[in-house]
Structure 1
Amino acid sequence: MTAGPVVLAATAERVPDTDWSAASVKSLQLGGGEAYTASLRYRGTKVADIENDGRGGTPIVHWKRGNAATDHRAVWAEWVSAYNELNKQDEWFEPEYFAIVSLIDEYEIAKQLRRDSKRFIPVLVKGANLRRDGQYALIRGRAEDPRMIEAIRAKGEVDRYWDGENWMTL
């Protein structure tokens, strides 16, 4: 593992490092939950497919075949253990579940933030937690415009804004 822990850019979730990520997330809301598929990536390379049928339970990880799969499983198990040490509130459930969900949340929220920041400035009100509250506000304008940022700062209701890549503190 690389040096850590670090904070993910979009969700501000603490993770051991940024070696692991989710990508290609496809989801569907069902009556009993959310079904999804995604790819699990290690240092940018797809090493497994993840699926959850939306009926509860831990997502299933289908590792790619070959000698590297065994190594990836061992490194993933270490990462999940380190993730649970950082996020004690999540360890009561299946250890892998919240680690996977945090990576999927990061992917989906970052994707939405990138889309929204083309026309708006995403902002978080004081004390808000994106993963807990699940939402942010939008202000028409561009984060590159210093007058907009100064106007947001002057109102005093917001403590962070998305600059297109990271949450910036006011």
Structure 2
Amino acid sequence: MINSVEISNVQAINPECDEYDFSSTSDKWYKKMCNNVNKNPLKFVRWRLANNKLYKYIDQDFPSLRDDCEYWKLVVPKDFRDKILQRCHDSCVSGHLGIYKTFHRVSRLFYWPFMKMDITKYIRKCEVCLRTMPEQKSPAGYMGQAVEPTKPWEIINSIEEEFL
């Protein structure tokens, strides 16, 4: 019998739900952007405030295959980013994906400055990934035996003889 995984607490990631209430954030950049967009929406055409949440318009590939709402990404303040990364990387349905796949999963719904850098740092510190993922480095060493010359130009002459 195969072991089963209990997934009763798993919820879909929905940026529209009330779980993402950023009104209590302490992120100065986020508050500043909300104020700027609210005061001068014509200057910030790629930004909008809706239901006290900040969104940014992000161009994507294949626009004919996308819905307009898929271009608007929920902007996440600093103090909520770890929670988003936990849901998109650590949850039992996320599978501890690598940097590239986690970035694409997060960027489908959310936006924040330097997102890829934050995701890279988060995954490189993930204890589960550090324990279970194979190391991606090739072993160090020479491609062959090192030949030490005894006379000047000895190696050059031997290479020249091979090609003649």
Is TM more than 0.5 here?
no
Larger radius of gyration: 2
Bigger fraction of residues in strand: 1
Q: TM-score, normalised by structure 2?
A: 0.27
